[in-house]
A and B are shown apart, each in its own frame.
Chain A
Amino acid sequence: MLEFIIQNNIVCHAVEAMLFASVACAVLSVIITQVQISSIGFTMAHAAFAGAALGMFLSLNPTVCSIVAGVSVAFLIGPLSDKARLSPDTSLGLLFGICMAVAIFFIAYMQTLGQGFSAMGLLFGDVISLYREEVYLLAAICIVAIIFIVVLYKEITAIIFDKRIAESVGIRVKPVYYAMLFVIALTVALCLPIIGGLLLYVWLVAPAAIALQFCNRLSAMFVVAPTVAAIISISGALVGLEHSLPVAPLTAVLFSVVFIAAVLLSPRRRVTFRKT
């Protein structure tokens, strides 16, 4: 798609993948941080990681397995909290531990069997060996995430404001909430191979956290967060590939630096006195 600007195929694919993944994660990061479900995002990322490891062990498509695992966890959280009478926080802690255990078990077992599997790609991402189809898939999930937010903007904003108020004004909160989790799970699973299970969380939280330092309105956050994420991710990809540095970890560091700068420069935290 961007071959007319970047001639090198590897670099082009990497930049495209980082662009689509960052925009998809960033628009969803606004939902994740504002509905305060960042623990869910974190757990989903690790569920997708476990799913991918299991898929590799069973010689199944790791992407499909990570989607199934991420979505399953998303739909397990609510019922598990209700039926086991646990707080969502405890349920998430439990699921996170189980997911990590499953992933590590299969990775270790495959190494014992001499299958030579390296978990590094799944843990920290890999943008070098991407197929064109994978980039198209990321473009598709990016479009799905944006359409989801545009179409259900009213309902999403009301839920972000307050779930109980949203319910009291006649919004069907549960279906919209579960649709949110489904889109997040799908995005997490598809972004996992390029960003990595351990770093994905940065993409799901940092863009919105940065945007919140400058935006008074949610609508502005939905524009600023993906814009900032795209700029940081493309910069990370270009600098990383140019200097042979790991792209996803470098980009995660860039996100952290920009976040700290945003907090320091935020006009929303500044107290000003005007003498009248």
Chain B
Amino acid sequence: MTPSDPIIRLENVYTAYEGADRPTLTDISLSIGKGEFVVIGGPNGAGKTTLLETINGMLPITHGKAIVCGQDVRGDGVQVRCRVGYLLQNFAFDPLTPFTVEEVVLMGRYGTIGLFRKPGKEDYEAVQKALQMLGIEDLATRPIGQLSGGQQQKVLMALNLARNPEVLLLDEPFSNLDMFAREEINHLLARLVRSGVTVLIVSHAFDDLPDGSVRVVVMQEGTIVVSRECSPKEVEQVVRSAGKGTSHA
């Protein structure tokens, strides 16, 4: 897929939460190619998480067009979500949560398995592969609630990788991770991007981004104010300067 045939295409998209008086996202146009690494920055409440949830069809689009993985998000968000991984932010599970790590990671496959069907051999193999990618295969039989915040974060990451996603949306993936785990995840993300997975990441930590070209998207008050390519080292600079004044590039 070339940039002229993007994997994510948003055209003049407006999104509103149910019951809201005004749209949360306003006139968003964005085109992202296969295998791109996109960093989404901006102040709190700028609409970064809303943008991710719009892309995977979890929020209603009130106006505009959104095509993800060749599917119209407005038509069938469920089909899109079967091909897009989404790591939600701020999760902490109760110690008595009755699910093992393996069971949680297997849930990543449920959408693709379909209704009334049981997980098969290939689903369990995908789970094992995802656990190995994150180096947590030894935690497979442990209850998720008894793990540390960083380990839980890795389990949720594995849940998304088990789906072999074409697009990976990550909302603050480093929030619970120590510096070693951050490094591991960054290596993993670089490997995924090289294999053609498109990664969109909302983060406030710009110091450990994978090597290679990065697209920075800066949001303010529900709209995109900057969208440009740069090197990983320039990301923080771009986000900071966008915060001082809007500069379309």
Contact = CB atoms under 8 A, between A and B. Distances in A.
A168 to B, nearest CB: 4
B110 A212 contact: no
A61 B238 CA distance: 70
A170 B19 contact: no
A271 to B, nearest CB: 11
Given A82-B18, A216-B98, A158 B110 contact: yes
A215 B98 contact: yes
Nearest to B56: A168
Interface in B80-108: 81-82, 86, 88, 91, 96-100, 103-104, 107-108
Interface string B198-236: 000000000000000000000000000000000000000
B98 A217 contact: yes
Contacts of A152: 115-116
Nearest to B19: A85
Given A216-B143, A217-B100, A170 B116 contact: no
Interface string B56-67: 101000000000
A164 B113 CA distance: 18
Contacts of A170: 78-79, 81-82, 110-112
A132 interface: no
A94 to B, nearest CB: 18
Chain B contact residues (Cβ within 8 angstroms of A): what range?
20 to 34
Interface string A141-179: 000000000011011011001101111111110000000
Nearest to B169: A168
Nearest to B112: A170
Contact of A168 (B81, B96, B97): B81
Interface string B108-126: 1111110110110000000
B99 A217 contact: yes
Contacts of B56: 168
A224 to B, nearest CB: 11
A169 B119 contact: no
Nearest to A211: B98
A139 B120 CA distance: 32
A164 B82 contact: no
A169 B100 contact: no
